[in-house]
Amino acid sequence: MADDIALMRRLRVEILEPALSERTLRMGAEPHRWFAHLVFLVHGRLVVGVDENAETWDGPCLLVSPPSSARRLRVAAGSKGYLIGAAMDVLADAIGDYPESSSVRRFLSHANGFGLADVSQCRSLELQFHGLVDEVQKHAQPSHMVVSAYLRLLLLWAWRHNTPDEPASSLAAGGGTLLQQFRHLVEAEFRQHRPIADYAKQLGISMDRLHAICRRTLNRAPIELVHDRLAQEARIHLERSDRSVREISDSLGFKDPAHFSHFFKGKTGLSPARYRKTVRQAATSASTPVNVEYHDWP
């Protein structure tokens, strides 16, 4: 869990009430650059993307957009729906460590969309969206537990209805690919700076096999992937909080700020202070270079 940044700054909740004219929503841009989004269109029409890549969806439908997927939504006049966005650490808390977690995480890593025909299902889904919006908008300090519970229900609902035929055997404890299991371990423990040998041992495989899996699938070594996750978390803290470099360094498990600054500059080309200044000077730009984004793992 990451409770050191205000929860409200790691969530985006909107009720899309019927309007007299079309409106445009953006995902993957500041200040929601690292958010995954769920869009539930109760009725009406929305267009995702532009030009030849545009997709038109008629309600009721549910769309899932992974983090850093730069997408534009045009919501037609008279449409009603909900938009929920959450940062990666909030999603990690919601997904948790359950038999379904690997499959849900894999589902969330790609853009998905599907129509909804069953009236009772739509009503149930709307109640869940409304419950989450209500919790966030009516409380100055919404409960992290309540938010996680609603997000977990929504993600599980979306996964189940998009992959209804996935065999139960794939959900057994320890299920999912070894790469997905490694990803889950890294998500839970990257702040501890554990040796790769520890991850391999926990997965029940040799270091050589773990290295081969990561190289074959992503052309990157396991340690690079752990460092990518650390760098991404550091960027999130620098972009979204006012904490000092020392505080961020301590929260990410570095032995001192100098070590953290050296690591961060090696990954981004900028010192932590310079990165924060650059991002805040160009808050609407999403062009800051990134080596590899952790949420882009398959």
> In the predicted model, is pLDDT for residue 66 greater than 60?
yes
- Residue 4: the pLDDT is 41
CATH number of the domain that residue 202 is part of: 1.10.10.60
Name the domain boundary from 168, 199, 232. 168
Tell me if 1 is assigned to some domain.
Answer: no
Question: Are 37 and 112 found together in one domain?
Answer: yes
173, part of any domain: no
Count how many domains the chain has.
2
List the Cα angle 14/20/25 in 5-degree steps. 35
pLDDT per residue as tens digits for the range 180-224: 778 878 887 888 999 999 999 988 899 999 999 888 888 889 999
> Rounded mean pLDDT of the chain?
82
- Report the pLDDT value the prediction gives residue 29, as an integer from 0 to 100: 73
Report the C-alpha gap between 159 and 148 in whole angstroms: 16
More confident residue, 139 or 287: 139
Provide the pLDDT for residue 161.
81
Q: What is the pLDDT of residue 23?
A: 92
Q: Report the distance separating Cα 192 and Cα 288, nearest Å.
A: 27
Same domain, 184 and 83: no
One domain for residues 201 and 95: no
The per-residue pLDDT for 7 is 66
- Confidence at residue 76, expressed as pLDDT on a 0 to 100 scale: 95
Tens-place pLDDT, residues 235-289: 888 887 888 999 999 999 999 999 999 999 999 999 999 998 888 777 554 444 4
Average pLDDT over residues 112-122: 85
Q: Which residues contact 146 (CB under 8 A, 6 or more apart)?
A: 135
Containing domain of residue 253, as a range? 178-296
Backbone angle region of 219, left / alpha / beta, with phi > 0 → left and psi within -120 to 50 → alpha: left
> Same structural domain for residues 111 and 214?
no
Q: Which of 110, 140, 168 is the last residue of a domain?
A: 168
Whole-model pTM: value is 0.61
pLDDT tens sequence across 3-12: 444 666 788 9
Shared-domain flag, residues 41 and 106: yes
Cis amide linkage into residue 289, ω under 30° from 0? no
Q: Which domain CATH number covers 123? A: 2.60.120.280
Q: Is residue 273 part of a domain?
A: yes
Q: Is the pLDDT of residue 62 over 60?
A: yes
pLDDT, tens digit (0-9, with 9 covering 90-100), for 146-179 = 999 999 999 998 888 876 555 443 443 344 478 8
Strands 80-86 and 36-43: antiparallel
Q: How confident is the model at residue 79 (pLDDT cuts 50, 70, 90)?
A: very high
* Whether residues 140 and 201 fall in one domain: no
CA 233 → CA 184, 191, 277, distances in Å? 15, 9, 17
Instruction: Kindly state whether residues 73 and 193 are assigned to the same domain.
Output: no
Q: What is the pLDDT of residue 232?
A: 85
**pLDDT at position 287, please?**
44
Cβ proximity of 32 and 85 under 8 Å: yes
Q: What is the DSSP letter of 294?
A: G
Of all residues in the chain, what percent carry a pLDDT higher than 70? Answer: 86
Cα 132 to Cα 26, 116, 145, 176, distances in angstroms? 21, 20, 11, 29
